[in-house]
Structure 1
Amino acid sequence: MKSTDTRKPYSGTTRSLVIAIDVGTTFSGVSYAILEPGEVPKIHGVTRFPGQEHVAGNSKIQSIMYYDRAGKLVAAGAEADNGSVLALAEDEGWIKAELFKLRLRPITMKLKMNGLRLSALPKNKTAVDVFGDFLGYLYRCTRTFFIDTHANGKALWQAVEHNIQFVLSHPNGWEGAQQTKMRRAAAYGGLIPDTDEGRSRIRFVTEGEASLHACVLNGLAADVLSNAKNASSHGFLIADAGGGTLDISSYAIRATHPLVIEEIAPPDCIFAGSVFVSRRAREFLAEKLRASKYGTEDSVDHIIKRFDEKTKRLFRDKNDLQWIPFGSPFDKDPTVGIRQGQLKLTGAEVAEFFEPSIQAAVAAIKAQIDSATVPIRSVWLVGGFAASPWLFTQLQERLAVYQVSVSRPDTQTSKAVADGAIGFYCDHHVNARMSKFMYGVEYLREYNGDDPDHVTRKHRLCELPSGPKLLPDAFDCILARSVKVKESTVFTRKYCTELTSLKLLSVFEVEIWCYRGGNTVPLWINRTAEDFGTLCVVRADLSPLEGSAEPKSGRNGKTYWTIVFSVEIHFGLTEFKARIKWVDNVSSSSSLRGYDIDLEYYLGENKIVSLPVGIITVV
């Protein structure tokens, strides 16, 4: 099967443009496609950025920026790394923004920086603002490249610019809250207007799934299907090793014409990228050079930069001496292994910088293999860190015991995510995904005096207006972990609530909980545990039901109303959705009505506090 056999013609009726932006921890890239009705889209990469015009065909740019003291962006990308800008930055006291993507990580993903901290944010800037500034910079670079590269480029851009579709990639571990921030950043950076229409032009794809589509574009399908007998019975794993994260996703091919792929294990994401190799090297060298004139912070920064460019990238044998070329022939300090401008390290020392990331990668891949629903026989290593010979050979050796082969595409792996994000938008090969966590709601469980667990919670008993005594904080699972979900699948549960005031109908809301603690359904919600978190609050205006709700007389003569509704979860897309459904008996013919919620509009940095809407019980 050739890669062209997997491509689908664009089904739209008018010309359009889709831009995929991959903001990486250390490097970023942009790809785009002009969508012509009935034609298979051709993927283009932005290969010229300001400050690196001399590098032909370079499709990635450093994820760094400089801000002046007032918080104004003054340089970004390659321009932020040239000598004149570095001198100005030092003279003017500019603030360097780097590794800013890590600030968007979920709080449940712990970041080990070996004692080093992320640099301070520029004045009057939030993490979302900084991310938005970089998105805006990449967007402007793309516009310039597009206009300069295509015939009649300016007119073509003007014809499509108000309806450009964007695909933003993010690590597998990012959730709705991170998608919210990225969408706000896109508006801040000027990619879209801050309106419902503008926000609808942003799509998201995980870096793992984008990498899968990139591999398909580069012939992965042909390799996997070369043994047609095992094509559907064996799975394959995509390991996207980038600057910050290692994103792991597992798939199996279910059909070939058209190509249909299913996820076969919940995707994983760990902090084991190349930046942590550099952090460990910096910590080691800071101590090694502490008593040397080369031990100043600026000197160590310079040496580490050269380590990144040469030593780390080329390292392949722990038995060979390693050199970091950083200075002139006159730079020497024999006491710390510096001579002729080069710092000597043993191969074993350099291997130790890699070791925690390699161990974490092997453990995560092994866990993925164990949880997959079909046997995994091959691992495809992509991403910028995949270019490391040491990482590649170590994964090959250590995973061989599991009868797993490790390969990497012979094309440029660092641009895989941006290209694959376009492939995701246009071809959409994945039609089923695995739920990463467990999702449900809180409800009231009937009290059982013979259950010791219930007795310990007796002090929290509450009484419904209708009379029963129930315990709060019970967890009702709507969608379990590791469930295969097709895009059309809807998970729904019916509930009822008793209200003592119909005014509460206009602000009706249900909290969706996420449990990250494994496959066993917990009986109770532990609000202080890291395993539990509020995923979103689904809001609906149920005031139309006011006219049809029948009052009832409860204990002590208090009036109450019973409302029956359903909570639906749509999980099969790359964006989680939830909604409330209810039956409206006011109209002459009863109809099921719903209130759609895109989580990204409600998941922000501030926790949403649920209003007291009544009591939920399972019907």
Structure 2
Amino acid sequence: MKHAGDTRKPYSGLSRSLVIAIDVGTTFSGVSYAILEPGEIPKIHGVTRFPGQEHVAGNSKIPSVIYYDKHGTIMTAGAEADSSSITAQAEDEGWIKVELFKLRLRPRTMQLNMNGMRLSPLPRRKTPVHVFGDFLAYLYDCTRSFITDTHANGAFLWSSVEPDIQLVLSHPNGWEGPQQTRMRNAAVYGKLVPDTDAGRARIRFVTEGEASLHGCILSGLAADVLSNPSKHGFLIVDAGGGTLDISAYAIKGTSPLAMEEIAPPDCIFAGSVFVSRRAREFLEDKLKHSKYGTPDSLDHITRKFDETTKRLFRDRNELQFIPFGSPLDKDLPVGIRSGQLRLFYLFSTDLFIAAVNCIKAQIEASHGVIRSVFLVGGYAASPWLFKQVQLQERLAPLQITVSRPDTQTSKAVADGAIGFYCDHHVSARMSKFMYGVEFLRELNPNDPDHVARKERLCELPSGPKLLPDAFDCILARGVKVKESTVFTRKYCTELTSLSMLSVFEVEIWCYRGGNVVPKWISRHDDAFSTLCVVQADLSLLSGSAEPKTGRNGKKYWTIVFSVEIHFGLTEFKARIKWMDNVGIASILYVISHRSLFSIGSSQIVGPRPSCAFFLLTCSAAGRQSLFITNVDIA
């Protein structure tokens, strides 16, 4: 089978452009890019030269580390921040070292078991978005320097494309709309794009699982599997520094190559950094009565563990050594001799058991079509992860083969993100959760559940007595969604004042609690969250709306509209559609929690009070009609 680069179509744009993919990892980061010339096939390049590691030819990954001074000014970042001279200067001048900052962007629903781990303190007046933006700006500047220094007429090339550079930011499978919004805000803060709708629209997102899939395709690692359109599926298991991202796909065609997601992607905190942190916790307890048990010594020994023992570890029953000092370093009672710490049973298996369970859950969710597992990412090279966790042995009864690439895949996410932009091999994705809106449910006096909620009863101008907080599912969990698929529900609203049309809003809810559609929205349950409130100006409909008279003689108006959900790409979108005097009108939004980014003339705003709008269901001529209304709740 040909590599994706051999089958990639020529760039169809009318002018030269540049796309940059930035993979900010928990521990290491990388950048790839492609120059898009009209009529030419794009070629992917990696940024392989960063300040502080010019002596390492072809190194495409740098540490995700920043040093700030006491006032929050960036002093250094990346590879330079790991040098011994910088470490000494930072200690002398009181600089603040910030690492693992990506974990601060995690969704509230993804619980992080710290297990003794502490995230680095942030400088004063610096938020996680600011730090993320500072590091994006650093990587962006490194990319500009690399392109201008490497390519012929590089300075002219950069200046010609800079006003419209396209950016692809990768993130873990478990990140959602709010995290994408914070990353987009970080890019604006770092001045990668201007703070305009057009500037923000230049940023696209891709999950690390899907980027890793494209990385495997680009390198030819999965050629045998991808060349067989047998409908057999495969897993991409991206073992990175912070998360383990698992994605399931099946081949739907080979000319051109087309794949579909066949299970909702998964993501757990089980990356290499947690192994290191647990190792430090173990060392802290082992050396607590030794002169080597000071915080500085523990940091040094843990760092040496990262650089040597962790990378070579194979069997927990074997004697392990951490070389950290000189031949004069000795403390026999704790196992230190000739500058080496001797120990047994350093590695805990619970992280890896969780990883195996997560992989098995994906296989079950894929209904038995999985036949191959590709283990990629920076931590995929770990002999322990591959051998001792016994992925092959555990999955062999299911007739599933496990492959670990023998080529370098630590930069697969950045390269794959460019492949995602250029090749677009995934044509359908699986919805991870349920998405819908709140509606008013008609009171059933014979239902105890309804009676228990009776104190919140409200009445529409047209008469029906209704209960708030009911949930109407527009898109269920585990549904295959093609890019062209639209999920829509038709609603109408009863308004007591046409002035409300100028700030018409619909709240989009997300339910993470499973596959059974809940009857009610529980606002204090972590399984429920508000994605956003979509706002549109429907004041043009006021001229065509006909007044009606309610039971109490009060005038009201009925407005009909639709809510559409687009979920075929890696970023959630929604549309409010309505009929005016001319025809169908609509506003399309990129759904971003508490964001002001919009496509069109209206904005997306943050959550509003829950009593603002409700939906009503009732039966009419055997068909279900739904209403959304604004009423005074007595």
Q: TM over 0.5, yes or no?
A: yes
User: Which residue matches 2:177?
Assistant: 176
User: Which residue matches 2:620?
Assistant: none
1:617 and 2:616 matched: yes
The amino acid across from 2:307 in the alignment is E
User: Which residue matches 2:586?
Assistant: 594
1:141 and 2:139 matched: no
- Deviation string 1:551-579 (CA, Å, 9 cap, x unpaired) is 11112211111111111000001110012
User: Which residue matches 2:276?
Assistant: 278
1:186-335 to structure 2, matched below 5 A, reads 186-225=187-226, 228=228, 231-335=229-333
- State whether residues 593 and 606 of structure 2, in contact with CA within 8 Å, keep that contact through their aligned partners in structure 1: no
User: Which residue matches 2:58?
Assistant: 57
- State whether residues 235 and 374 of structure 2, in contact with CA within 8 Å, keep that contact through their aligned partners in structure 1: yes
The 1-side partners of 2:430 and 2:397 are apart by 26
Task: Report the alpha carbon displacement of residue 405 of structure 1 after superposing the two structures with TM.
Answer: 1.1
* Candidates 441, 449, 459, aligned match of 1:463: 459
Task: Report the alpha carbon displacement of residue 617 of structure 1 after superposing the two structures with TM.
Answer: 2.2
User: Which residue matches 2:498?
Assistant: 502
User: Which residue matches 1:427?
Assistant: 423
Secondary structure class of the residue paired with 2:263: coil
- State whether residues 242 and 274 of structure 1, in contact with CA within 8 Å, keep that contact through their aligned partners in structure 2: yes
The amino acid across from 2:213 in the alignment is L
1:105 and 2:106 matched: yes
- State whether residues 275 and 347 of structure 2, in contact with CA within 8 Å, keep that contact through their aligned partners in structure 1: no
- State whether residues 509 and 610 of structure 1, in contact with CA within 8 Å, keep that contact through their aligned partners in structure 2: no
User: Which residue matches 2:123?
Assistant: 122
Task: Report the alpha carbon displacement of residue 233 of structure 1 after superposing the two structures with TM.
Answer: 2.1
Task: Report the alpha carbon displacement of residue 107 of structure 1 after superposing the two structures with TM.
Answer: 0.2
- Deviation string 1:152-184 (CA, Å, 9 cap, x unpaired) is 111111111111111000001111101111111
The 1-side partners of 2:357 and 2:62 are apart by 31
The amino acid across from 2:608 in the alignment is V
The 2-side partners of 1:127 and 1:475 are apart by 33
1:82 and 2:83 matched: yes
Any runs of at least 4 consecutive aligned residues in structure 1 with deviations exceeding 6 A, and if so which? none
* Candidates 436, 441, 452, aligned match of 1:440: 436
1:528 and 2:520 matched: no
The 2-side partners of 1:35 and 1:556 are apart by 65
1:453 and 2:457 matched: no
Secondary structure class of the residue paired with 1:248: strand
- State whether residues 582 and 592 of structure 1, in contact with CA within 8 Å, keep that contact through their aligned partners in structure 2: yes
The amino acid across from 1:78 in the alignment is A
**611 and 391 in structure 1: CA distance in 2 versus 1, 3 angstrom threshold:** closer
- Deviation string 1:198-222 (CA, Å, 9 cap, x unpaired) is 1111110000000000011112452
Q: Quick check: 607-616 or 468-477, which moved more?
A: 607-616
Secondary structure class of the residue paired with 1:412: coil
1:365 and 2:364 matched: no
- State whether residues 31 and 60 of structure 2, in contact with CA within 8 Å, keep that contact through their aligned partners in structure 1: yes
Secondary structure class of the residue paired with 1:317: coil
Task: Report the alpha carbon displacement of residue 606 of structure 1 after superposing the two structures with TM.
Answer: 9.9
Secondary structure class of the residue paired with 2:310: helix
Secondary structure class of the residue paired with 1:351: coil
Task: Report the alpha carbon displacement of residue 84 of structure 1 after superposing the two structures with TM.
Answer: 1.5
**569 and 595 in structure 1: CA distance in 2 versus 1, 3 angstrom threshold:** same
Secondary structure class of the residue paired with 2:488: strand
User: Which residue matches 1:608?
Assistant: 607
Task: Report the alpha carbon displacement of residue 225 of structure 1 after superposing the two structures with TM.
Answer: 4.1
User: Which residue matches 2:600?
Assistant: none
Task: Report the alpha carbon displacement of residue 602 of structure 1 after superposing the two structures with TM.
Answer: 3.8
Task: Report the alpha carbon displacement of residue 616 of structure 1 after superposing the two structures with TM.
Answer: 2.3
TM-score, normalised by the number of residues in structure 1: 0.96
1:380 and 2:379 matched: no
- State whether residues 282 and 346 of structure 2, in contact with CA within 8 Å, keep that contact through their aligned partners in structure 1: no
The 2-side partners of 1:613 and 1:454 are apart by 21
- State whether residues 210 and 247 of structure 2, in contact with CA within 8 Å, keep that contact through their aligned partners in structure 1: yes
1:521-560 to structure 2, matched below 5 A, reads 521-560=517-556
The amino acid across from 1:487 in the alignment is E
TM-score, normalised by the number of residues in structure 2: 0.94
Task: Report the alpha carbon displacement of residue 2 of structure 1 after superposing the two structures with TM.
Answer: 1.6
- State whether residues 178 and 593 of structure 2, in contact with CA within 8 Å, keep that contact through their aligned partners in structure 1: no
Q: Quick check: 474-483 or 187-196, which moved more?
A: 187-196
Aligned residue pairs, count = 608
**Identical amino acids, percent of aligned pairs:** 74
The 1-side partners of 2:230 and 2:206 are apart by 24
- State whether residues 434 and 512 of structure 2, in contact with CA within 8 Å, keep that contact through their aligned partners in structure 1: yes
The amino acid across from 1:2 in the alignment is K
The 1-side partners of 2:437 and 2:610 are apart by 15
1:418 and 2:414 matched: yes
Pick the structure with more helix per residue: 1
The amino acid across from 1:594 in the alignment is S
The amino acid across from 1:242 in the alignment is G
The 2-side partners of 1:260 and 1:296 are apart by 55
- State whether residues 532 and 605 of structure 2, in contact with CA within 8 Å, keep that contact through their aligned partners in structure 1: no
User: Which residue matches 2:628?
Assistant: none
The 2-side partners of 1:611 and 1:163 are apart by 40
- State whether residues 508 and 613 of structure 1, in contact with CA within 8 Å, keep that contact through their aligned partners in structure 2: no
Secondary structure class of the residue paired with 2:247: strand
Task: Report the alpha carbon displacement of residue 442 of structure 1 after superposing the two structures with TM.
Answer: 0.4
User: Which residue matches 1:402?
Assistant: 398
1:511 and 2:512 matched: no
Task: Report the alpha carbon displacement of residue 7 of structure 1 after superposing the two structures with TM.
Answer: 2.2
The 1-side partners of 2:225 and 2:117 are apart by 42
Task: Report the alpha carbon displacement of residue 373 of structure 1 after superposing the two structures with TM.
Answer: 4.4
The amino acid across from 1:608 in the alignment is P
- Deviation string 1:42-63 (CA, Å, 9 cap, x unpaired) is 1111111101111111110000
- Deviation string 1:244-284 (CA, Å, 9 cap, x unpaired) is 00111000110111111110000011101000001110111
The 1-side partners of 2:274 and 2:169 are apart by 24
The amino acid across from 2:316 in the alignment is K
- State whether residues 59 and 415 of structure 1, in contact with CA within 8 Å, keep that contact through their aligned partners in structure 2: yes
User: Which residue matches 1:166?
Assistant: 167
User: Which residue matches 1:475?
Assistant: 471
User: Which residue matches 2:630?
Assistant: none
The 1-side partners of 2:198 and 2:232 are apart by 42
Structure 2 gaps of 5+ residues are 597-603, 618-624, 626-634
Q: Quick check: 528-537 or 7-16, which moved more?
A: 7-16
Task: Report the alpha carbon displacement of residue 116 of structure 1 after superposing the two structures with TM.
Answer: 2.4
The amino acid across from 2:209 in the alignment is G
Secondary structure class of the residue paired with 2:279: helix
- Deviation string 1:27-72 (CA, Å, 9 cap, x unpaired) is 0000011111222211111111101111111110000010000000
The 2-side partners of 1:548 and 1:612 are apart by 27
The 2-side partners of 1:89 and 1:413 are apart by 33
Secondary structure class of the residue paired with 1:53: coil
Q: Quick check: 106-115 or 116-125, which moved more?
A: 116-125
- State whether residues 498 and 616 of structure 1, in contact with CA within 8 Å, keep that contact through their aligned partners in structure 2: no
**464 and 607 in structure 1: CA distance in 2 versus 1, 3 angstrom threshold:** same
The amino acid across from 2:616 in the alignment is T
The 2-side partners of 1:439 and 1:210 are apart by 25
Computed over aligned residues only, the root mean square deviation of the Cα atoms, in angstroms, reads 1.5
User: Which residue matches 1:344?
Assistant: 342
- State whether residues 498 and 614 of structure 1, in contact with CA within 8 Å, keep that contact through their aligned partners in structure 2: no
- State whether residues 484 and 568 of structure 2, in contact with CA within 8 Å, keep that contact through their aligned partners in structure 1: yes
Task: Report the alpha carbon displacement of residue 366 of structure 1 after superposing the two structures with TM.
Answer: 0.3
